[in-house]
């Protein structure tokens, strides 16, 4: 019967070759999504802003990352289905009904599209774009959300208007337009279900999803589902939560792909982990008392999960928080602010952020051309530094300093070096790992009783002390501003 499931989920219309995962199969409706201009724009958005100025191979795009996330998400779901069938059939020798096969197929295809579109709202230079001061101000403008959804009813996705837009809100907006233009009916899918497993949304799933969710719940939970302790009306949200955790959670397809992909293209080994080993130990977990449905991992798979977390921790410290990389990120944000000082550029970016008709124009290419224009006009500019790779001169690195301590250390460095304090630049990255313990407690461990052979679910930190070792760590690099962009004493009245 597992072969029947594989046959059902394995039919595809096209194969795309990926340097990290190899051949990735695509369905017809997924090809239509990928060919949409709003998705094609991701070809021109770098996955890691300008990390390639430090790691030259890191020029990979959001486009291929998104396809890779879809592939990993599919593997996660299929690995759990396969493990469940394997373990269940050893004792029961049961076959799947057509309704169960249909439910598995529907949920798998919903996961694939959710993964494919999860990052579709990223703008130029990915995360650094929204961290630039003037971009932040633009995205916080009152009425921005309403302008973005003008003429479209967003209430099916958002219960209220967000005060400040993030790239996840744009991903939902892009997904709405893209899925509205795709023949989902032929694939038997509903756009509301796909968007419902993406971040920031709160949806009422389709009747089709509710039907398949109930079938899936009864199939997975077995006797617990038959006992009827969870009202049928609550089941769809439980299943939707499971699917959401595959798209965006602590062990999710997004993190798994970007760690492998960033490590591969940066030519470093610290982002590597054994994906096959991790997937082979993932299971469906449920608890009718909470109620809860989500990811579980076998006790023997804890080593693979620990490796996954440690690799992520090391990537943040050694690659994303690399002293030269963070310095260029700071220069990039300042260069974006410079570009927006031009009224024409400001108005154009403002328009792109409010209108899906023009959002596809907002790519890295637009800003690279703008940087060159500013650099030609003003050699003493941050844009000049970006275009000509003039990096910040690294002075010192400290960890876990507070704001006052950073300011005091910055002033001390300026005094020791005999330079203007305003020419000492600080860049900090917070490695957010203090919530690992709490968040990973949402992922249960399947523990087998050596006597009765029965399995029970336990919190992950009750079984492994590894996850209690992590805490938030702030890495702060101190730099001297490049001479071409240094502030003279007369500039200090700005």
Give the pLDDT of residue 5: 52
Tens of pLDDT along 287-338? 888 888 889 999 899 899 888 888 888 888 889 999 999 999 999 999 999 9
Pairing relationship of beta strands 22-26 and 14-18 according to DSSP bridges: antiparallel
Give the pLDDT mean for 210-222: 92
In this predicted structure, which of 305-309, 312-316, 360-364, 455-459 has the lowest mean pLDDT?
455-459
pTM, rounded to two decimals: 0.92
- Please indicate whether residue 462 or residue 437 has the higher confidence score (pLDDT): 462
Is the per-residue pLDDT at 188 higher than 50?
Answer: yes
Residue 491's pLDDT is 46
* Averaged pLDDT score across all residues of the chain: 89
Average of pLDDT values for 59-65?
A: 96
| pLDDT, tens digit (0-9, with 9 covering 90-100), for 370-425 | 999 999 999 999 999 999 999 999 999 999 999 999 999 999 999 999 999 999 99
pLDDT at residue number 414: 95
Region 204-229 average pLDDT: 87
Band of pLDDT at residue 271, cut at 50, 70 and 90: low
Do 266 and 55 form a contact (C-beta atoms < 8 A)?
yes
Q: What is the mean pLDDT of residues 15-31?
A: 95
Q: Is the pLDDT confidence value at 157 over 80?
A: yes
Q: What percent of the chain has pLDDT over 90?
A: 69
Say which residue, 479 or 460, is predicted with more confidence. Answer: 479
Q: What is the pLDDT of residue 490?
A: 41
The whole-angstrom distance between residue 132's C-alpha and the CA centroid of its chain comes to: 19
> What is d(CA 176, CA 170) in angstroms, rounded to the nearest whole number?
10
Decide the pairing of beta strands 292-298 and 282-287.
antiparallel
pLDDT at residue 150, as a whole number: 94
pLDDT band at 489; cut points 50, 70, 90: very low
Task: Pick the more confident residue, 206 or 141.
Answer: 206
Calpha distance 169→120 (Å, rounded): 10
């Amino acid at each position: 019967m597992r072969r029947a499931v594989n046959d059902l989920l394995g039919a595809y219309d096209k194969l795309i070759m990926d340097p990290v995962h190899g051949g990735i199969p695509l369905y017809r409706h997924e090809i239509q999504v990928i060919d949409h201009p709003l998705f094609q724009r991701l070809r021109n958005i770098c996955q890691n802003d300008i990390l390639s100025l430090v790691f030259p191979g890191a020029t990979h795009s959001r486009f291929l990352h998104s396809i890779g996330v879809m592939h990993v998400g599919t593997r996660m779901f299929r690995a759990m289905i396969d493990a469940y069938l394997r373990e269940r059939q050893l004792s029961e020798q049961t076959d799947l009904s057509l309704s169960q096969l249909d439910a598995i197929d529907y949920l798998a295809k919903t996961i694939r599209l959710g993964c494919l579109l999860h990052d579709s709202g990223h703008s130029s230079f990915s995360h650094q774009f929204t961290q630039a001061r003037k971009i932040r101000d633009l995205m916080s403008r009152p009425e921005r959300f309403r302008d973005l959804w003008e003429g479209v009813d967003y209430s099916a996705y958002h219960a209220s208007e967000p005060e400040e837009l993030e790239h996840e809100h744009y991903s939902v907006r892009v997904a709405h337009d893209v899925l509205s233009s795709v023949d989902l009916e032929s694939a038997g899918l509903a756009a509301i279900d796909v968007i419902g497993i993406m971040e920031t949304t709160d949806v009422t799933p389709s009747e089709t999803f509710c039907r398949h969710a109930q079938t899936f719940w009864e199939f997975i939970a077995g006797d617990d589902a038959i006992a009827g302790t969870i009202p049928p009306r609550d089941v769809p949200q439980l299943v939707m939560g499971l699917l959401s955790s595959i798209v965006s959670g602590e062990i999710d397809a997004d993190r798994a792909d970007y760690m492998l992909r960033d490590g591969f293209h940066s030519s470093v080994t610290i982002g590597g982990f054994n994906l096959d080993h991790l997937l082979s130990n993932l299971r469906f977990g449920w608890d009718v008392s909470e109620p809860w449905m989500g990811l579980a991992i076998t006790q023997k798979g804890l080593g693979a999960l620990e490796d996954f977390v440690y690799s992520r921790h090391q990537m943040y410290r050694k690659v994303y928080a690399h002293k030269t990389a963070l310095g260029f990120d700071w220069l990039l944000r300042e260069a974006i602010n410079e570009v927006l000082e031009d009224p024409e550029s400001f108005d154009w970016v403002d328009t792109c952020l409010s209108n899906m008709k023009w959002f596809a124009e907002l790519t890295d290419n637009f800003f690279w051309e703008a940087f060159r224009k500013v650099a030609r006009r003003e050699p003493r500019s941050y844009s000049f530094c970006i275009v000509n790779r003039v990096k910040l001169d690294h002075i010192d690195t400290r960890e876990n300093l507070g704001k006052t301590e950073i300011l005091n250390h910055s002033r001390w460095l300026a005094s020791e070096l005999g330079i203007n304090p305003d020419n000492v630049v600080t860049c900090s990255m917070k490695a957010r790992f203090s919530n690992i313990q709490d968040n990973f407690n949402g992922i249960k461990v399947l523990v087998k009783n050596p006597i009765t052979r029965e399995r029970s679910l336990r919190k992950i930190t009750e079984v492994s002390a590894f996850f209690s070792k992590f805490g938030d760590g702030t890495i702060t690099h101190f730099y001297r501003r490049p001479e071409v962009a240094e502030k003279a004493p007369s500039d200090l009245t700005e």
